[in-house]
Amino acid sequence: MLEYIGFFDIWATVIARFWPVWLSLAVILGASYHFRRSLSLYGRLFDSRIGMVGLVIVLFWILTAIFADIVAVFDPLQQFAMLKRKAPGVIDAETGQALLFGADNLGRDLFSRMVHGSRFVLVIAPAATLFAFIVGITIGLPAGYYGGKIDAFMSFLANLVLAFPVILLFYLLVTPGIRETPIPIAMAGFFFIFPIIFFGVLFYSRYATRPGLLAVQLAGTFLVGGWLYSGLVFNADPLGIITLAPNELNIFASVVFVNSPTVFRIVRGITMDIKTRDYVAAAQTRGENAWYIMLWEILPNARGPLIVDACLRIGYTTILLGTLGFFGLGLAPESPDWGSMINQTRAFIRIVPTIALPPTLALAMFVLGLNLLADGLREQSLKD
Amino acid sequence: MLQFILRRLAVMIVTMICLTLVVFYLVNLEPNLKKLALEQNNNRMTEEAVESWLEKEGYRRPLLERYAEWIGNAATGDFGQSTRFRKPVDEVLGPRIGYTGTLMFWVMITMVPTALLIGVLAGMREGSKTDRSLSVVSIASTATPEYVSGILFTVLFASWLGVLKGVSKAGGIDFNNFALPVMTMAIYGMGYIARMTRASMAEVMTAQYIRTARLKGLSFRAQVLRHALRNALIAPFTVIMLQFPWLLTGVVIVEKLFNYKGFGWTLVEAADNNDIDLLLSCSLVSVVVVLLTQLISDIGYAYLNPRIRVS
């Protein structure tokens, strides 16, 4: 006979399991609150209630991803043949530990899978957003600044990608078949070269007159960039720190591909607005290089809306990754990411109504947190 | 104006050609063709059998030649043969688009008025308690994708309360099996429109002519209904039109979730089985929807707001 623990025991244990998260949360929030006056936009977040709630939720999931091994009770892939589709709180006879949120259709612990699922999202979503931003900024700045033919061509390309229904694009780009072709590597190779170009131009446009400093910076950029590039694109990191499975690379590159046209449009719009300002005219009169103006005059002044959009976009990417899991695209079947979990358990909600709740609520909560954070940031950045 | 529309139509056609070319290239990649051959015959075919089948069916001819042929046929209304359903594509796709149209219609009918109401109520008194709580509601709704809210609603209404059905059959539509898909889609889209409406309403409420109306001694009700509302609803119009492309993705998720056999379901079937002609037509339909709604939103915007002149 299977034994269960009660409702309150479940939640008490869940809260207790998260102890490293609570502890670090308290330390981070305490420290940030204490130094909030010297933390500019981030510090002012503490004046907005909505922003605070968002920040706490987002930090909670970041810390959960970091401490996943401590928080989780079982290995996310371990299957308990006896406990398939059991309700929350069922006790595993061997270890005496409870499966806090129940077991899925293969008898895996839903709580541990949910906790480990945060890792996949929190690695891919922010990284893909960052790459999409660098690509969008590198193309969007000259398009907005120069206008004319470059702009028309780039905008046409961006609209082309945006006219595609996202789901169809993923069905075409993220399949096992595609991984037999060089397309994912070519795509990744194309997009991941942008950060190197971006930082190269960034340093060159400012420090071209100081060759000593420039040499150090460029050497650093190419060294770090080349290291990341070989690790990410060719999965051949000489140090063996960065590895990306072919299917993850495929997903990563596709997500960057889908997101960068939108970022491009935003950056282009902001650039067209900012280039009419007086400080840009002043820089032009000084005879500054066009790239210097774009990267060192326009970009820093566009950071407010870009930070807000980055928050929203990480949430949107999370939803996108969930969609991929939901359609069973590109991810390993046993992968504990939230979208795949939803897809695998949703057929059983008639038998065990709670079976699909952990990943759905986790995903909704994380995205909600990001949205609230973006709202708080927007509110605070408008106060300037 | 006419010139503007013509130019946009020309861009539309170029976009359609580029996009279908990309789709055509991707579905004709070697692994996809092999998958198609195995799916069409039996899964234990030898390499030679696959090769000879592909040769026989004409998949080995040059890509551009076949693409030109497809475009030529499509221009005359022949969209080819679906390999998955073994029927002409227009016979498969026609009714499916109709089913999805019904779904979209009900989604729009419920989503748009609710969203506008929430937006106007929140925006007419910026910063008030109503505004704050409605804003949180709309943020929460945009943060809950269909595959999350759909499952939550199914658990809540179908499993626990037992009032609505978690599956809906295309064709036989009644409230019980249609409420959940419509609700799921409407709620995800609602938040965004509501936020745009709120922003627009809040801006209008600070305008000079509202101050004049207030100084004339008009009641708050008259200020909002007679003066603010009409101007505040121009901006959301664009947003509502631009929701259609997004609805397409939502349709795919919701139709899979509730097993509603419409356009989205067909797209998934076509993509899963590498049904080349059907997939091309699906992408054509979605691209037309996206571009047409953009065009309508631009024209409508200029029409609604005489201060904007299209150039």
Q: Does B85 contact chain A (CB < 8 Å)? A: no
Residue A212, both tokens: 């000593």
User: A35 to chain B, minimum CA–CA distance in Å?
Assistant: 28
Q: How confident is the model at residue A356 (pLDDT cuts 50, 70, 90)?
A: confident
* Nearest chain A residue (CA) to B290: A163
Contact state of B253 with A323 under an 8 Å Cβ cutoff:
yes
Closest CA to A242 of A123, A119, A65, A322: A123
Beta-sheet pairing, A98-99 with B81-82: unpaired
pLDDT of residue B191: 86
Find which of A153, A156, A167, A383 to mutate to test the B interface (most B CBs within 10 Å of its CB).
Answer: A167
User: A94 to chain B, minimum CA–CA distance in Å?
Assistant: 32
Find chain A residues with C-beta within 8 A of B15's C-beta: 156, 159-160, 163
Q: Report the length, in residues, of chain B.
A: 311
Contact state of B151 with A360 under an 8 Å Cβ cutoff:
yes
**Helix axis angle, A110-146 relative to A193-207, nearest 10°?**
50
pLDDT in tens, A275-297: 888 999 999 999 888 899 988 98
CA distances (Å), origin A17, targets A14, A29, A74, A110: 5, 20, 12, 14
Residue A366, both tokens: 């994380």
Find chain A residues with C-beta within 8 A of B264's C-beta: 167
pLDDT of residue A136: 92
Task: Transcribe A24-56 into DSSP letters.
Answer: HHHHHHHHHHHTGGGSHHHHHGGG-HHHHHHHH
pLDDT of residue A382: 74
User: A314 to chain B, minimum CA–CA distance in Å?
Assistant: 11
pLDDT in tens, A6-61: 788 888 888 888 888 899 989 998 888 888 887 777 878 888 888 899 999 999 99
Task: Tell me the average pLDDT across A241-248.
Answer: 78
pLDDT of residue A156: 87
Most confident of B84-88, B171-175, B278-282: B278-282
Find which of B20, B25, B26 to mutate to test the A interface (most A CBs within 10 Å of its CB).
Answer: B26
* Comparison of pLDDT for B46 and A357, the residue scoring more: A357
* DSSP bridge partners of A103: A109
pLDDT of residue B171: 62
Q: How far is it, in rounded angstroms, from Cα B128 to Cα B237?
A: 25
Give the three-class secondary structure for B1.
coil
pLDDT of residue B310: 52
pLDDT of residue B193: 87
pLDDT surpasses 70 at B311 = no
Q: For chain B, what percent of residues have pLDDT higher than 70? A: 94
pLDDT of residue B166: 66
pLDDT surpasses 60 at B243 = yes
The beta-carbon neighbor of A353 closest among B135, B142, B159 is B159
Q: How confident is the model at residue B15 (pLDDT cuts 50, 70, 90)?
A: confident
* Residue A77 CB-density burial (10 A; 0-12 exposed, 13-18 middle, 19+ buried): middle
* Nearest chain A residue (CA) to B244: A165
CA distances (Å), origin B238, targets A162, B292, B293: 17, 13, 9
Contact state of B160 with A160 under an 8 Å Cβ cutoff:
no
Q: How many CB atoms lie within 10 A of CB A350?
A: 13
Q: Does B166 contact chain A (CB < 8 Å)? A: yes
Interface confidence (ipTM) of the complex: 0.84
Closest CA to A90 of A167, A6, A160: A6
Contact state of A165 with B15 under an 8 Å Cβ cutoff:
no
Find chain A residues with C-beta within 8 A of B166's C-beta: 349-350
End-to-end CA distance of chain B: 8
Find chain A residues with C-beta within 8 A of B148's C-beta: 322, 342, 360-361, 363-364
pLDDT surpasses 70 at A341 = yes
pLDDT in tens, A184-211: 888 888 888 899 999 999 998 888 888 8
pTM of the predicted model as reported, rounded to 2 decimal places: 0.87
Contact state of A178 with B283 under an 8 Å Cβ cutoff:
no
User: A319 to chain B, minimum CA–CA distance in Å?
Assistant: 7
Task: Tell me the average pLDDT across B271-294.
Answer: 84
Q: How confident is the model at residue A103 (pLDDT cuts 50, 70, 90)?
A: confident
Whether residue B90 contacts residue B79, with contact meaning beta carbons closer than 8 Å, is answered with: yes
DSSP B219: -
Residue B218, both tokens: 């008009």
- Count CA within 13 A, CB hemisphere, residue A303: 8
Q: How far is it, in rounded angstroms, from Cα A274 to Cα A153?
A: 21
Contact state of B154 with A349 under an 8 Å Cβ cutoff:
yes
Give the three-class secondary structure for A3.
coil
Residues 14-33 of B with CB under 8 A from A: 15, 18-19, 23, 26-27, 29-32
User: A348 to chain B, minimum CA–CA distance in Å?
Assistant: 10
Phi, psi angles (nearest 5°) of residue B81: -115, 135
Task: Tell me the average pLDDT across B153-170.
Answer: 74
pLDDT of residue B71: 84
Q: Does B126 contact chain A (CB < 8 Å)? A: no
- E strand intervals along A181-237: none
The beta-carbon neighbor of B139 closest among A166, A181, A375 is A375
Q: How confident is the model at residue B60 (pLDDT cuts 50, 70, 90)?
A: confident
Chain center to CA of A131: 10
pLDDT surpasses 80 at A174 = yes
* Residue B306 CB-density burial (10 A; 0-12 exposed, 13-18 middle, 19+ buried): exposed
Give rounded-to-5 percent helix, strand, coil for chain A. Answer: 75, 0, 25
Q: How confident is the model at residue A181 (pLDDT cuts 50, 70, 90)?
A: confident
User: B303 to chain A, minimum CA–CA distance in Å?
Assistant: 23
pLDDT in tens, A76-93: 888 887 777 777 877 877
pLDDT surpasses 70 at A384 = no
The beta-carbon neighbor of B252 closest among A167, A178, A183 is A167
- E strand intervals along chain A: 90-91, 98-99
Contact state of A181 with B29 under an 8 Å Cβ cutoff:
yes
**Helix axis angle, B276-304 relative to B263-272, nearest 10°?**
140
Contact state of B151 with A339 under an 8 Å Cβ cutoff:
no
Task: Tell me the average pLDDT across B199-217.
Answer: 86
Q: How confident is the model at residue B306 (pLDDT cuts 50, 70, 90)?
A: low
DSSP A205: H
